[in-house]
Amino acid sequence: MLFSSITFLFYFLPILLIVYFVVPKKFKNLVLFIFSLFFYFYGEPKYGFLLLISCIINYIMGSLIEKHRKYAKVFLIITLVYNIGQLLYFKYLDFFIENVNNIFNTNIKFMYIVMPIGISFFTFQTISYVIDVYNKKVEASKSFLNFATYVCLFPQLVAGPIVRYETISKELKNRKSNYDTFALGVKRFAIGLFKKVLIANLVGELCASLSVLTNQSVMSYVFQAVGFTLQIYFDFSGYSDMAIGLGLFFGFHFLENFNYPLVASSITDFWRRWHISLSSFFRDYVYIPLGGNRVSLLKWIRNIFVVWFLTGFWHGASWNFILWGLYFAVILVLEKKLYGKLLNKTKVFKYIYTIVLVVISFVIFNCETIGDIKIFLSSMFGFSNLPLVNSETLYYIRSYLVLLIIAIIASTPLLKVIGNKLKKLEFLEPVIYIGIIILITAYLIDSSFNPFLYFRF
């Protein structure tokens, strides 16, 4: 069930809100838990039991880690083996079989396992929980219902952000929902819905049209690359905005997951702004335990490559994702040790440098094979004997030019600055948000194009 679907917006969410605000305080977590399970089972009926089993095992093991410190490391290792093993089995087993067959010329049969929706997100949440209990950063949950509500909470269940237990542990026990918080949630949800439906979906239509052109050109590849970068940013950041907004409906305050990454001044800066919950997860649970930057140069480089190999691999069981992660590892090492300080002294070049490298990275991310990456990049940079531009490409550029300009502006803080000024005109703000909701509803009723890219991961 997509947040941007008619079913969610006009059936699931209104019914949940009515029930949630009618029941007494002591039943609110139970309501969220039941509705979150329904939300998950609606989209993933086959593997819904995995979510419940994960809740039970991690709740029990978290309690054992806290109560039996003498054996805490043993319990932690058992829990990590379960969590990581579950992820490896459902997400990566066929990938491993394929590569074993290719390397050793074997003929092991594929398992054709369907990956459960959201497994990468809820598994990382449970991993962070047991590690934090082990490190005494948080107390193990005394209530299974509270813990299960944390793991299954539908706003962030299938697409993040990766919410740590320490972020909302107090709010699971005691939280307040008032008019101001709810109103802020509505605004944030509307902004996310606008990003997803009226920018990401429409830019996605442009990319889909350009990808099937009979006669390609250099500019058709350039606009596909730029378009996909904008699409995945607005798609994923829009969902994060909606998740944060939905959390506010119920009194939860999730941390930010994006901070205008497309205006970053370096790749290092980009990863401080893009998918913050994922990069901070790998920083805290992989990079720092390996020694971070307080080690020798060779070990530091090893740490960087381990983290970014895992970051790429987390996104999917495919070599293009691994290459995508290692691509960033190389650039981050070079920025830190070779030209980062010089880059930072430039005024305009650092922004051009960053966005070009980011666009190239999402070409790698989007192409399914290494061969496809080579063809796309060579075509985009004019090494494939294609014309610079042709009539078909110009038709789509002209048709979507206004949208692309709006998307580029919306990827900067400019609209936020304008929005803050409009708050002074109290009568105008509700009109704008009502207008957004009407436009989105009209689009959803009329359109069948409503994908969500991060369901792949």
CA–CA dist 218, 136 (Å, integer): 55
- Residue 211 is predicted with a pLDDT of 94
- Residue 189 is predicted with a pLDDT of 94
Share of the chain above pLDDT 90, in %: 84
**138: its two tokens:** 């948080």
> If 0-12 CB within 10 Å is exposed, 13-18 middle and 19+ buried, where does residue 336 land?
middle
- b/e per residue, 224-247, with b = 16+ CB within 10 A? bbbbbbbbbbbbbbbbbbbbbbbb
What's the rounded mean pLDDT across residues 105-118? 92
Of the residues 68, 253, 275, 315, only one is catalytic, namely 315
- Residue 46 is predicted with a pLDDT of 83
For the stretch 242-297, pLDDT in tens is 999 999 999 999 999 999 999 999 999 999 999 999 999 999 999 999 999 999 99
Average pLDDT of the chain is 93
- Residue 441 is predicted with a pLDDT of 82
- pTM (2 d.p.): 0.94
**132: its two tokens:** 């934090």
- Residue 311 is predicted with a pLDDT of 97
| Contact predicate 368/283, CB 8 Å | no
Long-range own/partner contacts, residues 362-366 (CB < 8 A, 24 or more apart): 362/225, 362/228, 362/229, 362/232, 363/225, 363/228, 364/320, 364/323, 364/324, 364/327, 365/232, 365/315, 365/320, 365/321, 365/324, 366/228, 366/232
The residue that leads in pLDDT, 68 or 453, is 68
**186: its two tokens:** 């509505």
pLDDT confidence tier of residue 129, bands split at 50, 70 and 90: very high
**89: its two tokens:** 């089995």
- Residue 180 is predicted with a pLDDT of 87
- Residue 301 is predicted with a pLDDT of 97
- Residue 457 is predicted with a pLDDT of 55
- Residue 14 is predicted with a pLDDT of 95
- Residue 435 is predicted with a pLDDT of 83
CA atoms within 13 A on the CB side of 118: 31
Is 70 exceeded by the pLDDT of residue 18? yes
Q: Is 315 a catalytic residue?
A: yes
| Contact predicate 6/444, CB 8 Å | yes
Backbone angles phi, psi at 274, to 5 degrees: -100, 130
pLDDT confidence tier of residue 365, bands split at 50, 70 and 90: very high
Is 90 exceeded by the pLDDT of residue 418? no
For the stretch 321-331, pLDDT in tens is 999 999 999 99
What's the rounded mean pLDDT across residues 369-384? 95
CA–CA dist 315, 119 (Å, integer): 11
Q: In sequence order, what are the residues at sequence separation of 6 or more whose Cβ sits closer than 8 angstroms to the Cβ of residue 395? A: none
SS3 187: helix
What's the rounded mean pLDDT across residues 57-68? 97
What's the rounded mean pLDDT across residues 346-352? 96
For the stretch 185-222, pLDDT in tens is 999 999 999 999 999 999 999 999 999 999 999 999 99
Q: In sequence order, what are the residues at sequence separation of 6 or more whose Cβ sits closer than 8 angstroms to the Cβ of residue 270? A: 261, 264, 354, 358
Is 90 exceeded by the pLDDT of residue 439? no
- Residue 437 is predicted with a pLDDT of 82
DSSP string, 82-101: HHHHHHIIIIIHHHHHHHHH
Is 90 exceeded by the pLDDT of residue 453? no
DSSP state of 383: -
CA–CA dist 140, 83 (Å, integer): 17
Is 90 exceeded by the pLDDT of residue 417? no
Is 90 exceeded by the pLDDT of residue 166? yes
DSSP string, 6-19: HHIIIIIHHHHHHH
Tell me, what amino acid is at 229? T
- Residue 450 is predicted with a pLDDT of 57
Is 80 exceeded by the pLDDT of residue 445? no
Is 90 exceeded by the pLDDT of residue 142? yes
**91: its two tokens:** 């997400």
DSSP state of 69: G
**33: its two tokens:** 């838990």
Torsion sign (Cα): 293, 296, 297, 301: negative
Torsion sign (Cα): 441, 442, 445, 450: negative
- Residue 137 is predicted with a pLDDT of 96
- Residue 349 is predicted with a pLDDT of 97
Choose among 288, 279, 337, 284: nearest CA to 308.
279
DSSP state of 448: -
